């Protein structure tokens, strides 16, 4: 059975059902929208397996990804106030979710101090993360946000630094709050300058990226 972390550490699905008797397990295919921005809030979601992205959509249809969530984490904390969803959630790969209705969440908050504490810390972490994102959007240009994204995501692999996730230019643009056209220009120029190489949607860093573009 899938294992989860955080306040649900060491609990399998049977134990989750004991904690949340009205909960249910559901499977979603890749690219399925689990939650729509503006939906009524009535559930908390524990990610048993897979990854999802949390994003908001502008009036022009452009997306801004505000968070990536992996196995063992949960989302839908705004169930607390009963208001509408503040963002949409889409699966990045096949996912299995344990869905807790609001009545069970309310019971956990009253009877499980570990869960209540983790939820508070998670909300604080989200506020801090959003503050950083707002600061980047306000004070950095698209190139600066691109460099920050690459540096944050890159890992050592065989003596070189690579971004392990295979991302399209549209996906990068959504992560950094830019347009695909601008990301395409940046990637093209950095590739021409032998700063990066792109192979099968994976970015390899060949040398230190310039501070300015």
Minimum mean pLDDT range among 112-126, 134-148, 179-193: 112-126
Minimum mean pLDDT range among 61-70, 87-96, 169-178: 61-70
Q: How far apart are CA 87 and CA 130, in angstroms?
A: 13
Q: Is residue 210 part of a domain?
A: no
Q: Is residue 144 part of a domain?
A: yes
- Non-local (6+) Cβ contacts of 10 within 8 A are 3
CATH number at residue 148: 1.10.10.10
| Boundary residue ending a domain (138, 160, 193) | 138
The answer on 125 and 148 residing in a single domain is no
The answer on 31 and 112 residing in a single domain is yes
Residues 138, 139, 141, CA angle at the centre, nearest 5°?
95
Residues 32, 38, 41, CA angle at the centre, nearest 5°?
85
27 has a pLDDT exceeding 80: yes
Q: In this predicted structure, what is the pLDDT of residue 8?
A: 59
Question: Phi first, then psi: what are they for 48, rounded to 5°?
Answer: -80, -35
Q: In this predicted structure, what is the pLDDT of residue 82?
A: 78
Q: For residue 121, give both structure tokens.
A: 């810390």
Place of tokens 């807790």: 100
Q: Is residue 186 part of a domain?
A: yes
**Integer angstrom CA distances of residue 16 from 20, 48, 187, 188, 209:** 6, 11, 45, 48, 46
The answer on 68 and 35 residing in a single domain is yes
The answer on 184 and 99 residing in a single domain is no
182 has a pLDDT exceeding 80: yes
Per the structure, how many domains does the chain have?
2
| Boundary residue ending a domain (138, 157, 189) | 138
- Non-local (6+) Cβ contacts of 90 within 8 A are 31, 32, 33, 34, 52, 53, 55
The answer on 109 and 124 residing in a single domain is yes
Q: In this predicted structure, what is the pLDDT of residue 210?
A: 93
The answer on 181 and 106 residing in a single domain is no
Q: What is the pLDDT of residues 1-14, one digit of tens each?
A: 444 455 655 566 77
Residues 176, 119, 125, CA angle at the centre, nearest 5°?
35
Q: Is residue 100 part of a domain?
A: yes
The answer on 154 and 116 residing in a single domain is no
Q: In this predicted structure, what is the pLDDT of residue 3?
A: 47
| Boundary residue ending a domain (122, 138, 154) | 138
The answer on 150 and 52 residing in a single domain is no
The answer on 165 and 122 residing in a single domain is no
Spatial CA neighbour of 119 closest among 77, 66, 79: 77
As a whole number, the mean pLDDT across the chain is: 88
Q: pLDDT > 90: what percent of the chain?
A: 50
Mean pLDDT value across residues 142-171: 93
The answer on 37 and 26 residing in a single domain is yes
The answer on 155 and 181 residing in a single domain is yes
CATH number at residue 118: 2.60.120.10
Q: What is the pLDDT of residues 41-56, one digit of tens each?
A: 789 998 989 999 999 9
Domain encompassing residue 27: 6-138
């Amino acid at each position: 059975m899938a294992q989860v972390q955080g306040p649900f550490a060491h609990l399998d699905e049977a134990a989750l059902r004991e904690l949340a008797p009205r909960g249910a397990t559901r499977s979603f295919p890749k690219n399925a929208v689990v939650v729509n921005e503006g939906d009524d809030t009535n559930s908390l979601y524990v990610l048993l397996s897979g990854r999802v992205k949390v994003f908001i959509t502008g009036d022009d249809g452009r997306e801004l990804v505000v968070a990536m969530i992996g196995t063992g984490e949960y989302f839908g904390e705004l169930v607390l106030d009963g208001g509408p969803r503040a963002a949409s959630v889409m699966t990045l790969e096949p996912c299995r979710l344990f869905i807790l209705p609001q009545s069970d969440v309310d019971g956990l908050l009253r009877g499980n101090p570990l869960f209540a504490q983790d939820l508070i810390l998670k909300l604080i972490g989200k506020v801090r993360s959003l503050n950083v994102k707002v600061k980047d959007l306000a004070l950095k240009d698209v190139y600066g946000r691109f460099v920050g994204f690459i540096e944050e995501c890159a890992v050592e692999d065989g003596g070189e630094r690579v971004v392990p996730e295979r991302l399209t230019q549209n996906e990068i643009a959504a992560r950094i709050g830019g347009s695909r056209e601008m990301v395409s220009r940046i990637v093209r120029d950095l590739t021409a300058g032998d700063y990066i190489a792109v192979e099968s949607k994976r970015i390899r860093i060949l040398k230190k990226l310039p501070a300015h573009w």
